[in-house]
Structure 1
Amino acid sequence: MMETGALNLRNVLPWLWTVLWIASIVLALLLFVGAPVGEALSGFWQGAFGGRRHAYLMATLSRSALIVGMAISVMLSFRAGLFNIGGEGQLVAGGLAAGLIAILLPGPPLVVLAAAIAGAMLAGAAWALLAGVLQLYMGVPLLVGSLLLNYPIRYIGSYLVAHPFRDVPSGMVQSYLVPQATWFAYFPGTRLDIGILFTLTATAFALVYSYGTLHGYHTRLNGLSADFARTVGLPVRRLTLQTLAISGAIAGLVGAIAVFGIHHRYIDGMLVQPLYAWTGIIAVLLVGMVPWAVPISGFFFAAVQTGAAGMERAAGVPKEIALVIQAVIILFVASRVSGALSSRAGRGDGDA
């Protein structure tokens, strides 16, 4: 019993130390810029969770729908040992496909919406599968291939909304509006759209898939040791492609949520500049790829970003402090990953 308690304490202490470390750095930054700490913290809280009729909380939830969705996408591939960091490209592919299908496809609004969402998921899955094919059949490491594939789809999207599908009268580099009847409805009395329900559905799917399905168990086994999975007869190649397709499909779904719930069109850079995909990666690594903790981590990062805007309004603290906080967390995550790799290498040397 004492040994178990000591083990739990060893697991908790690093997290407590990290929270204190981040808090001390934020406090130092506030003092450095000469901001009133009390007003800044109050502004942060109000900016993340307050507002009239909790308007800022709705904004946090809206942002978290995209961050959590991308985090779920990343988590499924990372747990399978597939370092798919092409979520940004898969997100863009999904958003672009959703916007163009809704503009071009005639028919009843619900049919158009369903077709656009399905097309977005297929586009995201196809872009992820391309990275898998490059690794399995052409020897391009997934880490490299998925990263490089982020760029061509961004440029393809930029070209399409800058030329053939540009809404010229708007004066912006963006597509035409999707039909208003396909826009996601808001929850009554709020500015939060029902797109978050799609994220919740994807989260529930990921939890059931990870903890309650044989395929999820096989992918986890492949993530722990691909050589062992191959030795016991698991179809590693097929698992790789299937997992990447699922991961990419969820990223594509997130792109559709952004189109129909927030922007109502595809705007050049709308899915890239907010760093949804990269924030999702940080959120997953912060909680060690534990499925049930990923939504909490994603919501935390959304609150940091909206809360930082509240600090700027209330106390004049630059909202870029949110990026500093994320940088601090990245350093923590990097130290944990480095420590884990060093420990694994040490055990390997000892076994030898």
Structure 2
Amino acid sequence: MRVLARRLALSPAVLSVAGALAVTTLVMIAAGVDPSLAYPALARGALMDGNLEYTIATYVPTLGMALAFAIPLRAGEFNLGGDGQLSLGGIAAAALALHAGGSFVVPLLGAALAGALLAGLSAPLRTRLGVPAIVSSLLLGAPAVALASYLARFPLAEPGTGLAQTPLLPDAARLAALGSSAYVTIGLPVVAVLTAVWLYADARTVPGYEIRAIGANREFARYGGVRVDRLAAVTLAAGGALAGLAGGLIVLGPPYRFVDGALTAPGYTFTAIAAVLLAAGRPPAIPATVALMTILQAGGQGMERDAGVPSQLTQIVQGLIIVIVAVAAVVRTRLAGMRG
């Protein structure tokens, strides 16, 4: 028990969060803000006063976007095109819900397929042209966001309004609510099940082992008979599918339409990447770090309202966590090199 407690206390995630909170506290004090008022206001803004349902509603797409980044990361690939895959999945779900009819199943499948196709384009660009996925996925994301915006403003736009949004989706295509809250939908168990499936596949299956081998040493995995390029492409497509699905879950939930900019403005992609980096890419820790980042993001408004602290401070905390994680990784690598 003592060994476990010591490892937990010295884990990179705990040290990163503690360091970020320490720096943030110093910033608050320098700005004349009482941290004893700011931090309770942050917790109330995320978990109390009727705000928990909104935090859970934010947690669902953030966890989906975390998986979209973490799955390719296990194979050493960086999927930075989350915003494009999210937007394309959202507009695909809206189009299918409006024109295909039926339940939410087809729109969600279409959203996942749209995200997978977009992310999958990075695979041949890497294998055929040598363009790293970190570059191609980021560059492909911007046109995808623009395409979704165009579709919401013109072909799929709601008639008679100047707003860039689609009409309300049919009742049959809307996600059912869980309990009395309309904001917490069946998207929560859907993402939870997909997370559990990935955790099992990563730790207990042969493809999961091969993907980890690619991430650890690509050339050694290739020498061992692993189909490196194919598996890398699969992880990119799987990540894109999760991002597209997250977009579909947002659109098929309240307000039951695609609103231009509403999927990218909350910063789900950035928050998810920060959570994965905080977890050091370790799958079992990702749901917990996503929860922490979501609380920081959702509680910012409460902190601004009750303690007079700008909500942008929570974004500073997220950025500090990423910086501290990066610095700690560099330090550990150099120390390991010195010992070797």
Q: What TM-score, normalized to structure 2?
A: 0.92
Q: Does the 8 A contact of 1:194 with 1:261 survive in 2?
A: no
State the alpha-carbon separation in 2 of the partners of residues 125 and 225 from structure 1.
25
State the alpha-carbon separation in 2 of the partners of residues 243 and 14 from structure 1.
26
- The one of 144, 147, 153 equivalent to 1:153 is 144
Residue 232 (str. 1) matches residue 224 (str. 2) = yes
State the alpha-carbon separation in 2 of the partners of residues 234 and 259 from structure 1.
38
Q: Does the 8 A contact of 1:88 with 1:278 survive in 2?
A: no
State the alpha-carbon separation in 1 of the partners of residues 269 and 145 from structure 2.
13
| Partner residue, 2:84 | 89
- The one of 172, 175, 181 equivalent to 2:163 is 172
State the alpha-carbon separation in 1 of the partners of residues 199 and 13 from structure 2.
23
- Residue 281 of structure 1 aligns with an amino acid whose one-letter code is I
Q: Which moved more, 1:319-328 or 1:259-268?
A: 259-268
| Partner residue, 2:195 | 203
| Partner residue, 1:31 | 29
Deviation at 1:226, TM superposition (A): 0.6
State the alpha-carbon separation in 1 of the partners of residues 248 and 131 from structure 2.
29
Question: What does 1:1-352 correspond to in 2, within 5 Å?
Answer: 5=3, 9=7, 12=10, 14-51=12-49, 55-106=50-101, 108=102, 110=103, 113-190=104-181, 191-342=183-334
Cα-Cα RMSD: 2.3
Structure 2: which 5+ runs fail to align? none
| Deviation readout 1:214-250 (Å, 9 max, x if unpaired) | 1111101111011011101111121112211211111
State the alpha-carbon separation in 2 of the partners of residues 43 and 330 from structure 1.
24
Change (3 A) 1:344 1:148: farther
Matched residue pairs, number? 339
Structure 1: which 5+ runs fail to align? none
- Residue 193 of structure 1 aligns with an amino acid whose one-letter code is T
| Deviation readout 1:86-133 (Å, 9 max, x if unpaired) | 222211221111111111113x3x2xx111111111111101110111
Deviation at 1:313, TM superposition (A): 1.6
Q: Does the 8 A contact of 2:16 with 2:278 survive in 1?
A: no
Q: Does the 8 A contact of 1:230 with 1:236 survive in 2?
A: yes
The structure with more helix, counted as a fraction of residues: 1
State the alpha-carbon separation in 2 of the partners of residues 340 and 272 from structure 1.
34
**Percent of aligned pairs with the same residue?**
34
SS at match of 2:95: helix
